[in-house]
């Protein structure tokens, strides 16, 4: 497999960075320093005595009532996800985990994660199979019961693909010093295809690549997608991550024949943050992403070459007490802010701003009888402008939902 000098250089830099830190640290129990990158294993599993396989999963279901510009389609019930996890300790230093998801009943069945990990050193683990691309935090840490909101963040679903996984290989590791933990991940995976600018969303839409089930066996562009993430965590402050993924999304040649004028790239940079204010117990979770897509000038401006967005969740526990037989039931009040600009730039003909953006506020009330189960009431109010910046379409949506690990 051809690997470009740039990719080699990035992997080398990651290796140098981590090696330097490793010389100064002591190893600690990783369960106390869990990061977003650990989310796939940081789940409740059913374990069986002397049986090396652990099972788990979660369910998400909700009702939804939506009113768009005064018109409603009525009340619906949604069985959004049933996800099953299976993990196994195959032998010392070798483990396996897979995540199988059924969306909307059996409308979409997907293997979201299936990888074998080989632990050579806390700083150097090998991972291969179907991996979750480590872009932002939500993509890796997306289990329904962990969140106070029925909907996934817009930036993580409509801008970045969630949950986005691909066949690939890479390395990851963590280093510790005092209260600090540094984690890294670097993978080469299959990447995007031209559907990101050729789709029925009529906008640049990275998530369109998820429709291509062949991405687990065929890398459309022929060159790997580079994925890298660095995250730092302080046990009393929180975690900050910066991640990148990029690569070609088209093919310049097929069977030796030129089919496009050049190789076109997609590059994504994401920042994620989560912290808890100790005094008040207020949780803050946020993620922002910026996307650059090389869209040919001769294509329609409907498909933007830059996109950006963010979400911020503020979660305030207002009650922690015993309720019925639940020893540590928690009632949370939360607020999510979503913003997505699908098309940053100006129209060539008029030099006026291109629209196509979305802003939403979602107040939420959630009740957790135990940490693994959540009952949620959400009210989402959304303003969405079309590409021309015409008056925003307004949508209010009520949700009542449950989500639980099992």
Partner 1 sequence: MSKIAFVFVGLSVFLFCGCENLGPEEPMEFDLLDGPIDGLSISEQKRFLAGDIAFNDDVFTVENGLGPLFVGTSCVSCHSGDGKGHPFNQLIRFGNNDLDLSAMPTIGDGRNQIQNKALPGFEPETVPHGVPFSILVAPAVTGLGLLDAVPDEEIMALADPMDEDGDGISGRPHYNLTPEFTKIRENSVPQGDNYIFRFGKKANSYDLLHQTVGAYNQDIGITSLFDPIDPFSGLEVDPEISTKTLNDVVFYLKTLKAPISRNQMDPDVIAGKELFKSVQCAACHTPTLTTGYSPIKSLSFKEFHPYTDLLLHDMGLGLDDGFTEGNVETSEWRTPPLWGIGLSANSQGGQMFLLHDGRASSIEEAIEMHGGEANNSKARYISLAPEEKSQLIKFINSL
- Compute the least distance from the CB of residue 289 to partner 1, in Å: 24
Other CB atoms closer than 10 Å to residue 161's CB: what's the count? 22
Residues 292-321 within binding reach of partner 1 (CB under 8 A): 296, 298-302, 319, 321
Please identify, using beta-carbon distances, which residue of 179 and 260 lies nearer to partner 1: 260
- Compute the least distance from the CB of residue 401 to partner 1, in Å: 11
**By C-alpha distance, which of 206, 109, 101, 114 is closest to 157?**
206
User: For residue 16, how many C-alpha atoms fall within 13 Å in the half-sphere facing its CB?
Assistant: 6
Asked if residue 202 binds partner 1 (CB under 8 A), the reply is yes
Asked if residue 324 binds partner 1 (CB under 8 A), the reply is yes
Asked if residue 77 binds partner 1 (CB under 8 A), the reply is no
**By C-alpha distance, which of 289, 290, 312, 307 is closest to 361?**
312
Residue with the two structure tokens 């949700």: 399
Please identify, using beta-carbon distances, which residue of 128 and 355 lies nearer to partner 1: 355
**By C-alpha distance, which of 155, 88, 161, 95 is closest to 125?**
95
User: For residue 396, how many C-alpha atoms fall within 13 Å in the half-sphere facing its CB?
Assistant: 6
Asked if residue 55 binds partner 1 (CB under 8 A), the reply is no
Residues 248-287 within binding reach of partner 1 (CB under 8 A): 250, 259-261, 264
For residue 134 the two structure tokens come to 């480590």
Other CB atoms closer than 10 Å to residue 146's CB: what's the count? 18
Q: Which of 201, 237, 282, 284 binds partner 1 (CB under 8 A)?
A: 201
- Compute the least distance from the CB of residue 322 to partner 1, in Å: 8
Asked if residue 347 binds partner 1 (CB under 8 A), the reply is yes
Q: Which of 244, 292, 359, 398 binds partner 1 (CB under 8 A)?
A: 398
Find out whether 289 and 308 touch, Cβ atoms under 8 Å.
yes
- How many of the chain's residues bind partner 1 (CB under 8 A)? 54
- Compute the least distance from the CB of residue 384 to partner 1, in Å: 11
**Span from 113-121, 130-138, 154-162, 387-395 in contact with partner 1 (CB under 8 A):** 387-395
Find out whether 161 and 214 touch, Cβ atoms under 8 Å.
no
List of E strands, 69-164: 71-91, 94-103, 108-121, 124-132
Please identify, using beta-carbon distances, which residue of 1 and 71 lies nearer to partner 1: 71
User: For residue 157, how many C-alpha atoms fall within 13 Å in the half-sphere facing its CB?
Assistant: 9
Please report, as ranges, the residues that interact with partner 1 according to CB under 8 A: 65, 67-72, 194, 197-202, 250, 259-261, 264, 296, 298-302, 319, 321, 323-324, 329, 331, 347-350, 352, 355, 365, 367, 375, 377, 379, 381, 386-391, 394-396, 398, 400
């Amino acid at each position: 497999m051809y690997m470009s000098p740039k990719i080699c250089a990035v992997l080398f830099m990651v290796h140098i960075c981590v090696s330097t830190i490793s010389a100064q640290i002591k190893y600690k129990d990783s369960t106390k320093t869990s990061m977003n990158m650990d989310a796939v294993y940081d789940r409740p599993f059913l374990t069986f005595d002397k049986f090396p396989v652990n099972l788990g999963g979660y369910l998400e279901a909700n009702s939804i009532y939506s009113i768009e510009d005064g018109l409603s389609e009525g009340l619906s019930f949604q069985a959004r996800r049933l996800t099953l996890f299976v993990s196994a300790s195959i032998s010392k230093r070798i483990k396996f985990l897979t995540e199988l998801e059924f969306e909307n009943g059996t409308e979409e069945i997907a293997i979201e994660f299936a990888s074998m990990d080989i632990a050579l050193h806390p700083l150097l683990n090998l991972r291969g199979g179907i991996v979750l691309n480590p872009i932002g935090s939500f993509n890796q840490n997306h289990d329904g019961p962990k969140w106070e909101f029925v909907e996934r963040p817009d930036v993580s679903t409509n801008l970045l693909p969630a949950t986005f996984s691909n066949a690939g290989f890479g390395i990851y590791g963590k280093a510790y010093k005092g209260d600090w933990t540094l984690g890294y991940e670097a993978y080469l995976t299959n990447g995007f295809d031209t559907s990101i600018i050729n789709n029925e969303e009529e906008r640049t839409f990275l998530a369109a690549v998820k429709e291509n089930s062949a991405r687990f066996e065929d890398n459309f562009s022929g060159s790997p997608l580079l994925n890298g993430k660095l995250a730092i965590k302080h046990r009393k402050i929180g975690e900050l991550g910066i991640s990148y993924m990029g690569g070609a999304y088209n093919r310049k040649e097929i069977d030796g024949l030129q089919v496009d004028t050049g190789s076109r790239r997609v590059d994504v940079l994401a920042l994620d943050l989560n912290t808890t204010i100790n005094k008040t117990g207020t949780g803050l979770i946020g993620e922002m992403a910026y996307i650059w897509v090389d869209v040919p000038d001769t294509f329609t401006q409907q498909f933007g070459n830059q996109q950006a967005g963010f979400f911020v969740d503020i979660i305030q526990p207002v009650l922690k007490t015993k309720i019925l037989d639940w020893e540590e039931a928690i009632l949370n009040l939360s607020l999510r802010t979503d913003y997505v600009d699908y098309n940053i730039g100006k129209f060539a003909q008029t030099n006026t701003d291109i629209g196509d953006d979305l802003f939403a506020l979602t107040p939420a009330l959630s009740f957790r009888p135990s940490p693994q189960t959540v009952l949620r009431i959400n009210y989402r109010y959304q303003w969405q402008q079309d590409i021309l910046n015409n008056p925003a379409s307004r949508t209010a949506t009520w949700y009542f939902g449950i989500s639980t690990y099992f």
